[in-house]
Structure 1
Amino acid sequence: MTSILVVDDEYLIADILAYALEDEGYMVVKASNGQKGLEILDHEQPLLVITDFMMPRMDGLEFARAIRSRPHPCDFPIILMSGAQGSLGRTSPELFAAVFDKPFDIADVIAKVRELIGPPR
């Protein structure tokens, strides 16, 4: 099944994303910060990651860099969601396939997910 990792310390936003993506047929795994997200990547192989920028322990930029520096191939797309730091993500296209400013339109996020990884399998 097509899985997506959602990393956000705001549980309401993580839940909204997860419910919307699950309604589309994707399987979603959630983490509350970048460190937990990396732990999940040790045993899950998502096709896409959606991450917040401002989080405890590791911000979204640090998280994306950590993903890209992992020894096994981690070339899946990463989408950044940010309330204030979207411009930082936009200057790092090698890390982020897309950047959405909060508040975001969930339909736009789903359309971008479909564009990046296709429909759920």
Structure 2
Amino acid sequence: MAIILVVDDEVGIARLLEDVFVDDGHEVMLASNGRQALELALTTVPAIILTDLMMPVMDGAELAAALAAEPRLAGVPLVMMSSMPEGVVVAKGAAFTAFVRKPFNIYALVDLANSLIVR
């Protein structure tokens, strides 16, 4: 079991991922923007973070930069999820472990997350 932080302002996607990962035996924390995610991650360091790119308050690229600047969180795998092409995300300067294009295959995302979880 691992703690997974899911960051997405689309409630339906966040709840779907929560349900799937809980069914897979993980604990899930939810945030609707990067600022909330950073606060949660600083309180309880997750094993992996899955984040949307486009969100209000603090987007996924800004979250990636904030995580990289925080020594306790810099090594946590970050999966960037977006309907935008990967090149757009890279152009924003976001550093991430893996990229998943929306809409995604839920089974492939679970397999990817499980393979990246820091044990």
TM-score by length of 1: 0.88
Superposition RMSD in Å? 2.1
Distance 1:58 1:73, change over 3 A: closer
After superposition, the Cα gap between the structure-2 partners of 1:89 and 1:95, relative to the gap in structure 1 and judged at 3 Å, is: same
In the TM superposition, what is the alpha-carbon distance from 1:85 to its structure 2 partner? 4.7
Q: Cα gap change, 1:112/1:68 in structure 2, threshold over 3 Å: closer, same or farther?
A: same
Alignment correspondent of 1:44: 44
Separation in structure 2 between the aligned mates of residue 17 and residue 32 of structure 1, nearest angstrom = 13
1:47–1:70: structure 2 CA closer, same or farther, 3 Å change rule? same
Q: Does 1:89 align with 2:93?
A: no
Residue 61 of structure 1 aligns with which residue? 61
State the aligned residue count.
119
CA distance in 2, matches of 1:9, 1:91: 22
Question: Once the 2 structures are TM-superposed, how far is the Cα of residue 58 of structure 1 from its aligned partner?
Answer: 1.2
Q: In the alignment, what sits opposite 1:28?
A: 28
Shift of 1:96: 1.1
Alpha-carbon distance, 1:92 to partner: 8.2
Q: What secondary structure sits across from 1:74 in the alignment? A: coil
Instruction: Quote the offset at 1:90 in angstroms.
Output: 4.9
Q: Is the 8 A contact 2:65 2:94 kept in 1?
A: no
Do the aligned partners of 1:90 and 1:99 also contact (CA within 8 Å) in 2?
no
Structure 2 Cα separation of the partners of residues 95 and 111 of structure 1: 21
Aligned residue for 2:8? 8
Q: Give, in angstroms, the shift of residue 95 of structure 1.
A: 2.0
Structure 2 unaligned segments of length 5 or more: list them: none
Structure 1 residue aligned with 2:72: 72
Is contact 1:5-1:28 (8 Å) kept?
yes
